[in-house]
Amino acid sequence: MTLVNRLRLGVNIDHVATIRNARGGRHPDPVRAARLAAEAGADGITAHLREDRRHISDEDIERLSREIDLPLNLEMAATEEMLLIALRHKPHAVCMVPEKREELTTEGGLDVAAQHRHLASYVERLGGAGIRVSLFIDPSPVQLHVAKALGAPVVELHTGAYCEANGAAREAELQRLIEAAAYADDLGLEVHAGHGLAFDSVGPVAAIPQIAELNIGHFLVGEAIFGGLDSSIKRMRALMDQARAGVSGAESA
Ligand code: PXP
């Protein structure tokens, strides 16, 4: 089993752009947020360029590529338009996600089992350009199996169902994540996870030993309203580190 000691934190800055776009103009600037995230201990910056450009813009991606030293993880749908943008900027990583115009956020994982023919050429062309390809999938053995067959080196497990559930249902969703992470590792895939994570839900996911990276956005940006981005990232980082080190009580910190 691969034991990943240092759990990386990718800070997703999409919703800084959501607030900016509520009024147009340039404030608050997601690139400034990315700089602050780097200072607060983020290991990477994640941004989702959506087809409808509802938050992150093409110019944001250009500036993030040019001005930020941390690795950029570009989330995108598998379309030719997005592929060309990724090939132009060559981010460190691309995470392929499902996208529906009418959804508020990425609602479920990519169904790689149903779409493997469509996805294969994207994985190949991005990987061929030296970009690390990750597939955002539900924690299911079938999806993992197909992700491996597609040749993607990384999977990101969707934690939304776990975060939204309570009590026994949350435990069951956590178990699915634990089993999926172990199976992905057996297949030789690097495992990331994310979506919906917050202070009270991050601990058990961060404690899953095969997970190498968490990508967290909405909660960090929301929490920044009350205590600042620096403080929200540092607290998340501390909770992740405590959980990874096996310190109990991470959820109540
Ligand atoms: N990972 C992926 C692949 C995502 O699409 C998102 C949302 O854009 C996240 C992580 C972060 O989710 P949240 O903003 O809920 O923390």
* Tens digits of residue pLDDT in 39-48: 999 999 999 9
Give the CATH number for residue 135: 3.20.20.70
Whether residue 87 is contained in a domain is answered as: yes
Contact, 221 vs 15, CB < 8 A? yes
pTM above 0.85, yes or no: yes
> Is the alpha carbon torsion for 121, 153, 69, 233 positive or negative?
positive
- Residue 172's pLDDT is 98
Tell me how many domains the chain contains. Answer: 1
Residue 93: exposure state from Cβ atoms within 10 A (0-12, 13-18, ≥19): buried
Q: Dump pLDDT digits (tens) for 143-168.
A: 999 999 999 999 999 999 999 999 99
pLDDT beyond 70 at 251? no
The average pLDDT across 103-113 equals 81
Whether residue 98 is contained in a domain is answered as: yes
Binned at pLDDT 50, 70 and 90, residue 99 comes out as: confident
Whether residue 82 is contained in a domain is answered as: yes
Full domain range(s) for residue 99: 8-229
Whether residue 253 is contained in a domain is answered as: no
Q: Dump pLDDT digits (tens) for 112-126.
A: 999 999 999 999 999
Mean pLDDT of the chain: 94
* Distance between Cα 195 and ligand 1 center (Å): 4
List the residue whose alpha carbon is closest to atom 1 of ligand 1.
Answer: 194
Whether residue 237 is contained in a domain is answered as: no
Q: What percent of the chain has pLDDT over 70?
A: 94
Whether residue 245 is contained in a domain is answered as: no
Residue 194 CA: nearest ligand 1 atom is 10
Q: Which of 9, 11, 12 to mutate to test the pocket of ligand 1 (most atoms within 8 A of CB)?
A: 12
Q: What percent of the chain has pLDDT over 90?
A: 91
Nearest CA among 197, 209, 213, 207 for reference residue 155? 213
Written as one letter, the residue type at 15 is H
* Distance between Cα 135 and ligand 1 center (Å): 13
Whether residue 246 is contained in a domain is answered as: no
Q: Which two tokens stand for residue 62?
A: 């250009």
* Number of C-beta neighbours around residue 91 at 10 A: 24
CB within 6 Å of ligand 1 — which residues?
12, 14, 48, 75, 95, 97, 105-106, 136, 156, 194-197, 215-219
Contact, 99 vs 50, CB < 8 A? yes
The average pLDDT across 57-78 equals 97
Q: Which of 8, 46, 200 to mutate to test the pocket of ligand 1 (most atoms within 8 A of CB)?
A: 46
pLDDT beyond 50 at 250? no
* Distance between Cα 183 and ligand 1 center (Å): 22
Q: How far apart are CA 9 and CA 46, in angstroms?
A: 10
Q: How far apart are CA 159 and CA 64, in angstroms?
A: 26
Q: Which residues are catalytic?
A: 48, 75, 195
